[in-house]
Amino acid sequence: MENRRNFIKKNALFMGGMAASTLFPLELLAAVRKPISANDRINVGLIGCKGMGFSNLTSILKIPEINVLGLCDVDESVLDQRVADLEKADIKKPKRYNDYRKLLENKDIDVVIVGTPDHWHCLQLIDAIEAGKDVYCEKPIANSIEECDLMLNKVNTNNQMVQIGQWQRSQPHFVDAINYVHSGKLGKIRMAKAWAFQGWMKPVPVVPDVPIPEGVDYKMWLGPAPERPFNNNRFHFNFRWFWDYAGGLMTDWGVHLVDYALYGMKASTPRSVMALGGKFAYPNDASETPDTLQTVYEFDDFSLLWEHATGIDGGNYGRNHGIAFIGNNGTLVLDRGGWEVIPENNRDPKIEAIPVQPRSGNGLDLHMINFVEAVKNRDKSLLRAPIKVGYDAAKVCHMGNIAFKTGERLFWDEQKASFNNNEADKLLKASYHNGWELPTMS
């Protein structure tokens, strides 16, 4: 038991909540990449170069056919850094853009990676499809359910390949765990749990508004979000904790982990949802989204519980994040470090215990390989995280946030695509500002 706990702790610390490709030294890319003829090249443009966007680009560049032609970001200092990073890998300097629409006009670009904050995903994915590009889009797919609906319709009525950045779909040990869940050995599964307890996340200190930094096109960064004075808390990574741009941990980690809970249970949309939480740990910090949340989803024959907490690591089963499938015969527990099966009755177990099966491979790299294979073969059926996977996970997570905001148990009418609550229905909608318009259903 002590060895098991040490294993879990060590792997949780190692993963640190990030895809393993973020740790890849750029200097090694040159050695990984092999010469490819111009006819076989797939030209890529990246929109949003600061965080996971550049991790995605680093990962896809390990595939020899990939050639990067353009980088787009609203922050010149980020573009400076990323161009310098690519020079370390002996990669030809790509063209720089501040406006993503100019990048999309480049007819030589075949594939676009969308790595911007959530409030930009809908516009940029739809515009990229209309420009004839294949798209790798970071999760969650959008910042509202209305945007999710628009994106699902757009992708399904076009021929472009669209992979969502839920890379755990390509991580071998996650796939093995779900195969076990689907085997029926756990018996009737009555409950699934998913959680993220993130001890590394500290309070967001209150800081004053400041002048817009030199080299930052803040108006473009805001895009369809409400106009506000520049504040460092809302810029770059911390945008996740403000409703204008994202949905907190519920739509950040929640999209990854709830996705696998839905996958394991072969489910999509709940019958009802309720949520309790708030800023209990850090009531006076600058963030808006809850630092503590419990969300309960009712499906036809099981319930799903989401829990998150910032600033502490004391999650379920000794893991700071994970998914648990609780069956009559036992429980399967899964996280980014591995999976195990815990029999229900130690004296007369109906199934064998399975010790921790550790992670192997690089989920993000495998996800990119899968995406490129779909692009080359023009076959959507090859995609491991197509738009519907991103849609289901984002929709369920947004429903959790809507339940939190209303403080009500909400019942969902699938036929009408609405709740039994007018205030909740208003929160399904996107609100665009600054002259930007929500795309229309085509």
Domain boundaries, the chain: 2-168+365-387, 172-361+391-426
pTM of the model: 0.94
For residue 442, the model assigns a pLDDT of 67
Predicted pLDDT at 30: 76
Q: Tell me, what's the pLDDT at 32?
A: 77
Task: Give the pLDDT confidence score for residue 2 in this predicted structure.
Answer: 47
- pLDDT value of residue 38: 77
- CATH number given to 2-168+365-387: 3.40.50.720
pLDDT at position 36: 79
CA distance 166 to 344: 31
Query: What string of pLDDT tens digits covers the 442 residues of the chain?
Result: 444 444 444 444 444 344 444 557 787 887 777 777 778 899 999 999 999 999 999 999 999 999 999 999 999 999 999 999 999 888 999 999 999 999 999 999 999 999 999 999 999 999 999 999 999 999 999 999 999 999 999 999 999 999 999 999 999 999 999 999 999 999 999 999 999 999 999 999 999 999 999 999 999 999 999 999 999 999 998 999 999 999 999 999 999 999 999 999 999 999 999 999 999 999 999 999 999 999 999 999 999 999 999 999 999 999 999 999 999 999 999 999 999 999 998 778 999 999 999 999 999 999 999 999 999 999 999 999 999 999 999 999 999 999 999 999 999 999 999 999 999 999 999 999 999 999 988 6
Q: Distance between CA atoms of 19 and 362, rounded to whole angstroms?
A: 8
Fold of 172-361+391-426: Dihydrodipicolinate Reductase; domain 2 (3.30.360)
Q: What is the 3-state secondary structure (H, E, C) of 262-330?
A: HHHHCCCCCCEEEEEEECCCCCCCCCCCCCEEEEEEECCCCEEEEEEEECCCCCHHHCCEEEEEEECCE
Q: What is the pLDDT of residue 8?
A: 45
